[in-house]
Amino acid sequence: MKEFTIGKNDAGQRLDRWLAKTLPLLPAPLAQKYIRLKRVKVNGKGAKRDVRLAVGDLLQLYINDEFFERPTPENAFLSLYQPKLNILYEDEHILLVDKRPGLVVHPDENERVNTLLTHIQAYLYQKKEWSPYWENSFAPALCNRIDRNTGGIVIAAKTAEGLRVMNQKIKDRELEKRYLCVIHGTMPQREGKLEGYLWKDEVKKQVYVRSKPVPGAKTAVTLYRTLAVRNSLSLVECELITGRTHQIRAQFSAAGHPLLGDGKYGSERDNRRYGRHGQALYSYRLSFRFTTGAGPLEPLNGRSWQVEEVDFVQEYFPGFSLPRTEG
C-alpha cells in the first residue's frame, strides 16, 4: 500500500484522472476496477471515480508495486489491459501468433506500447506465466519478424531453451514458410523461380535486385506459383528459399510485377486505382520439417499451421478458397 497527500496543484481533479496521471502504466479499465473494489481509498474510505480531490486528502492505493514505476520500453506491457492476439498454437515453450497488418513487431522510436511483443508480454504476464520481476526471468522473444504492413505467422519463444532450439532450426532451414501476395499483371510463367542478388541501401532502407554478384549483395531465391488471376491482378503463393529483407517485394518489382499496395517498390498511381494502401503480402503458412532432434520442440515436427482468412484474398479474388492445411 502506498499513500499520497493531495497538494494544491492536484486539488480539484477527479479521482480517476489523478490516478491516470499518477500511475501512467495502470490501464484505465483496471483503474476503474480498483476504484470499484475500494482498493483506492480517500481519507480511509472508498470513493467514486468522479469525486473531486481537495487539498490535504489522504489517498491510500492498494495496487501492485509495478504500476508505480515510470514508463519504459521494458515495462510498456503493463499498460495493456486486454492484449489482442490471434494465437494459432501454444505450448510450454512456443507461441505461434497471426500478426495483423499494421502492427509493428518490436517497440521502436514511434511506437512503444502497441507492438506484437508487448501484447505477448502482457498476455503471458496476465496468465502468470512470466514476469520481469522474477529472479533470472527469461524475457519472451520473437524468433522471426515481419514488416509492419505485412501480416502473418510469427514465432515467439516463451523459454530460453525454446528460443535456442528454434533459432537453430531457422538457421538450418528446417522450417518452410509460404506467403500469399497480390501482384500487378501476370507472370510470364504460371509458376517458376526468381533468382538474383539483393543489395540493401541502409540509408534509404530499400533493397535492389542485381543479376550478378556485387559487394555486399546476398543471394535471393523465391519459388512462386500463380493461384488465380482477376482484373489484371494475380494471386501468387511464394516459398522463400532464402529469407532476405523485402525479398518478395523487391524481386517481383524487378520482374515488372510489383505487389499491390506497395508504395516503396510499386506505383502509388496503380495502387490508388485499386484502393489499396500497404503491400498485399501475408506469411500464411508455416511448416516444421526437422531433420535433427528438436528436444522440447519435437511436438512441432511434421506439423503445419495456416491462416485461413487473408483480407486481400476475398477482397480481390472473391470466392477463391485456399487449400486447407491441418495443424
Q: Can you give the residue ranges of every domain in the chain?
A: 2-68, 76-171, 175-316
Cα torsion angle, 50, 54, 57, 59, sign: positive
Tell me, yes or no, if the two domains 76-171 and 175-316 fold the same way.
Answer: yes
Q: Which superfamily, per CATH, for 2-68? A: RNA-binding S4 domain (3.10.290.10)
pLDDT of residue 190: 96
Q: Percentage of the chain surpassing pLDDT 90?
A: 79
Residue with the three cell numbers 532464402 = 242
Radius of gyration over alpha carbons of the chain, in Å? Answer: 25
Q: What pLDDT band is residue 326 in, cutting at 50, 70 and 90?
A: low
- State how far the Cα of 83 lies from the Cα of 106, in Å rounded to an integer: 15
Arch. (CATH architecture) of 175-316:
2-Layer Sandwich (3.30)
pLDDT digit string, tens, across residues 237-278: 999 999 899 999 999 999 999 999 999 999 888 899 999 989
Q: What pLDDT band is residue 205 in, cutting at 50, 70 and 90?
A: confident
pLDDT of residue 323: 75
* pLDDT higher at 203 or 61: 61
pLDDT of residue 325: 63
The CATH number given to 76-171 is: 3.30.2350.10
pLDDT surpassing 60 at residue 212: yes
- State how far the Cα of 166 lies from the Cα of 143, in Å rounded to an integer: 7
Query: Are the C-beta atoms of 116 and 105 separated by less than 8 Å?
Result: yes
- pTM here? 0.80
